[in-house]
Amino acid sequence: MRLTPVTIGSITTKNNLFLAPLAGYTNYPMRKLCASFGAGLCFTEMVSAKGLKYGSENTKELLYTTNDEFPCAAQIFGSEPDVMRAACEHTALEPFPIVDINMGCPVPKIYKNGEGSALLENIPLAEKIVSECVKSGKIITVKFRTGVSADKLVTAEFAKRMEGAGASLLTVHGRTRDKMYSGEVAFDEIAKAKSAVKIPVIANGGVFSVQEADELLKKTGADGVMIARAALYDPMIFCDLTGKERGSKREMFETQLKETRKVFDERFTTVFMRKMAAFYCKGERGAAAFKERLFQAKTPDEVLSIVEEMWS
């Protein structure tokens, strides 16, 4: 894959491979892991603007970071321009030079609240959100889908309007809201977004290999690729994409568990690392029995012991 820096406002990334914001997964240890394998920019989990406004402790946990992670992008969601701007100005977002606005989440609860992908049906409101957030002084980016359904595609117009409102970069998930996370990626729609604007456009959707990343770039003309679910199953996909030598899966897991334990309590570490181990063993011989044992583990040490046995 062709690796190039991407300039986002005043920030220039080391390459054009980004780790997507993944609710429940892209915490600090996961981002740190993917960055060590070559990801040029990582995004936090999706954070509620209202949660920030009202001081939710859970929201603050989602934004844990350290100075060695700079630059990192925080992703927020909401539908009220003033609340979104206040979130950008919140002290919890001080470590993040880039704030990404989620305008693509397809989850019913988010959509019904007029947030996430619902904003694809209210472009004037989406514009106002971006223009208000830009006033915070943060570099504002937007992640969105091609539309809510095949008969309501808005990709090019939405891209143009977000650029006009002040966005510095766009990420286009090449599926409509009703497709959720499956189905063919609309290369032509991402290409339309790229042709409609002068700011960088990142393509997202369906990349699980170097070949698929190359195809996505070639068919869309995008400036980079965002990796989502593939990183859950195999964070070392970033090694493949950057030409870096892969390490051992066992060592990767040990590192991630150690880092997770530093940031979170024993209960969270146990539950989270059980989930990650289940992702990492998909397709392996004996995976079903391994998962059965894994989900009975009560401590991080038990999880690690089972994993070490599996990948000895």
pLDDT score at 208: 97
**Which of 176, 201, 307, 206 lies closest to 249, judged by CA?**
307
Could you give the CA distance from residue 218 to residue 289 in angstroms, rounded to a whole number?
Answer: 41
Q: Cα 81 to the chain's mean position, in Å?
A: 22
Domains parsed from the chain with CATH numbers:
7-242 (3.20.20.70), 249-310 (no CATH)
pLDDT score at 55: 80
Question: Residue 48: CA atoms inside 13 Å, Cβ hemisphere, count?
Answer: 14
Place of tokens 């892991």: 33
Residue 20 clears pLDDT 80, i.e. is over it: yes
pLDDT score at 286: 85
- The average pLDDT across 270-278 equals 96
95 is written with which tokens? Answer: 């470590």
- The average pLDDT across 289-307 equals 94
Contacts of 301 (CB under 8 A, 6+ apart): none
Place of tokens 């919890």: 92
pLDDT score at 170: 98
Q: What element of type H or E holds 303?
A: helix 300-310
Catalytic residue among 42, 72, 88, 105: 105
Tens digits of residue pLDDT in 50-99:
999 888 778 878 999 999 888 999 999 999 999 999 999 999 999 999 99
pLDDT score at 45: 97
pLDDT score at 214: 97
218 vs 61, higher pLDDT? 218
Tens digits of residue pLDDT in 103-150:
999 999 999 999 999 999 999 999 999 999 999 999 999 999 999 999
Residue 277 clears pLDDT 90, i.e. is over it: yes
Residue 95 CB coordination number (10 Å)? 16
| Alpha helices, DSSP H, located in 2-104 | 28-37, 49-53, 57-62, 81-88
Residue 199 clears pLDDT 90, i.e. is over it: yes
What angle (nearest 5°) sits at the alpha carbon of residue 148, between those of residues 78 and 162? 55
Average pLDDT over all residues of the chain:
95
Residue 86 near residue 129 (C-beta atoms within 8 A): no
pLDDT score at 35: 97
288 vs 31, higher pLDDT? 31
Residue 43 near residue 20 (C-beta atoms within 8 A): yes
Tens digits of residue pLDDT in 164-180:
999 999 999 999 999 99
Residue 71 near residue 169 (C-beta atoms within 8 A): no
Report residue 212's pLDDT band, with 50, 70 and 90 as the boundaries.
Answer: very high
> Poorest-confidence range of 12-26, 43-57, 95-109?
43-57
What does R_g of the chain's alpha carbons equal in angstroms? 19
Enter the DSSP assignment of 23.
T
Please classify residue 37 by burial: count the beta carbons closer than 10 Å to its beta carbon, then call 0-12 exposed, 13-18 middle and 19+ buried: buried
247 is written with which tokens? Answer: 């390490």
Contacts of 36 (CB under 8 A, 6+ apart): none
Residue 42 falls in the annotated catalytic set? no
> Poorest-confidence range of 23-37, 227-241, 252-266, 274-288?
274-288
pLDDT score at 285: 85
Query: What predicted TM-score, i.e. pTM, was given to this entire model?
Result: 0.96
117-to-1, 88, 99, 158, 202 alpha-carbon distances in Å: 30, 20, 17, 12, 17
